[in-house]
């Protein structure tokens, strides 16, 4: 895989949250020049610039068959993040181009974010804050019920991979009873990590006071959270999603479950469409309507972020490219 010293690879970067790509250039220094394509839309990618790339780093731009066809020299495509639903892995495989993601950054951040949502919604902190604004003659007497202590609450973790495991490890210190559902984990994983394994998702939903989702987006999980699945949750349960917005089958089922009271609260870092399109549920959230007070917490898809994680993400992805171009080493390869 080594090139002569006089030759340099060309590594493209589709787009980025934090330009210029100086950190990536530093990692690739001595072996490659960086071409910052600065395109968030696939149709805006320049075919001539794509054709000269030896590697491509992808942030948010879709990489479909048309783009893959234009990667004439490309030897590897690497996603900055963990999810890769906007990358056509099958098309890359057909073209003989390996694809790698970046699963070993941001684990702590997403786990912390999920646990923060779990604890704040369990303690009804947001609802206390919303309602306390109107209190006058009374104060401490304004308690909310039901409000369960952690040792009396069951948390169901859907997806017990890196992030799900980190969530389990954090929750154990609070004394929750923890259930886990993940058919991809080997037998005995629950014993090593410390949770009770549930073989059927329906059983976890029916038995959990709080359900937190950490599963990937694929054909099986897309639209998972529809009316039927939400109805299968325990009445008065709390739902937390720091995985993918497309797990929601739109916002209508979520609104119905919250309006009816079947769900006590929802905390989500992700939405089906981002930035969100207008919807009555989000209108009620934005205008702080009384029926929703403190029951819907939305953060703008930044659970992964910390100053340290932003650096780790960029460095890891660039190092994956360098490892392959220099030594032919593939790490974190994804196959269709």
Q: Give the domain ranges of the chain.
A: 9-105+307-334, 107-298
Collect the ranges in the chain with pLDDT lower than 50.
1-6
Contacts of 190-193 spanning 24+ positions with Cβ under 8 A? 190/160, 193/160, 193/165, 193/168, 193/169
Q: What tokens does 130 get? A: 């919303």
pLDDT at 85: 87
Which one is catalytic: 274, 288, 289, 333?
274
The pLDDT value recorded for residue 223 is 97
pLDDT at 6: 45
Q: Is 274 a catalytic residue?
A: yes
Distance of CA 334 to the CA centre of its chain: 17
CATH superfamily of 107-298: NAD(P)-binding Rossmann-like Domain (3.40.50.720)
| Per-residue model confidence (pLDDT) at position 7 | 60
* 301 annotated active-site: yes
9-105+307-334 and 107-298 in the same fold: yes
Q: Does domain 9-105+307-334 have CATH number 3.40.50.300?
A: no
What is the tens place of the pLDDT at every residue in 87-126? 999 999 999 999 999 998 899 999 999 999 999 999 999 9
Q: Which of 170, 244, 295, 322 is catalytic?
A: 244
Spot the catalytic one: 86, 301, 305, 315: 301
Active site residue 200: no
pLDDT in tens, 280-308: 999 999 999 999 999 999 999 999 999 99
What was the pLDDT predicted at 4? 44
Q: Which residues contact 214 (CB under 8 A, 6 or more apart)?
A: 110, 114, 157, 158, 159, 160, 161, 163, 164, 167, 242, 243
């Amino acid at each position: 895989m080594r090139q002569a010293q006089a030759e340099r690879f060309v590594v493209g970067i589709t787009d980025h949250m934090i330009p210029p790509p100086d950190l990536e250039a530093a990692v690739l220094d001595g072996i490659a020049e960086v071409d910052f394509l600065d395109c968030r839309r696939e149709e805006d990618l320049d075919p001539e610039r794509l054709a000269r790339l030896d590697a491509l780093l992808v942030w948010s731009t879709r990489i479909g068959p048309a783009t893959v066809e234009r990667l004439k020299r490309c030897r590897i495509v690497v996603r900055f993040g963990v999810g890769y639903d906007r990358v056509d892995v099958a098309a890359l495989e057909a073209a003989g181009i390996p694809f790698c993601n970046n699963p070993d950054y941001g684990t702590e951040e997403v786990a912390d974010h999920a646990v923060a949502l779990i604890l704040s919604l369990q303690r009804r902190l947001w609802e206390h804050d919303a309602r306390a604004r109107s209190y006058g003659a009374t104060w401490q007497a304004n308690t909310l019920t039901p409000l369960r202590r952690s040792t009396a609450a069951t948390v169901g973790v859907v997806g017990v991979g890196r992030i799900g495991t980190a969530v389990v490890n954090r929750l154990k210190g609070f004394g929750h009873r923890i259930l886990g559902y993940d058919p991809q984990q080997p037998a005995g994983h629950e014993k090593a990590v410390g949770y009770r394994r549930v073989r059927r998702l329906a059983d976890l939903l029916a038995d959990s006071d709080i359900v937190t989702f950490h599963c990937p987006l694929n054909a099986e999980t897309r639209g998972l959270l529809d009316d039927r699945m939400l109805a299968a949750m325990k009445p008065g349960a709390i739902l937390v999603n720091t995985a993918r917005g497309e797990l929601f089958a739109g916002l209508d089922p979520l609104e119905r479950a919250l309006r009816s009271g079947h769900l006590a609260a929802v905390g989500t870092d992700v939405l089906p469409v981002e930035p969100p399109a207008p919807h009555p549920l989000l209108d009620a959230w934005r205008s702080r309507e009384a029926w929703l007070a403190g029951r819907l917490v939305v953060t703008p898809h930044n659970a992964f972020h910390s100053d340290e994680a932003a650096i780790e993400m960029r460095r890891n992805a660039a190092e994956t490219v360098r490892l392959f171009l220099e030594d032919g080493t593939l790490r974190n390869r994804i196959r269709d």
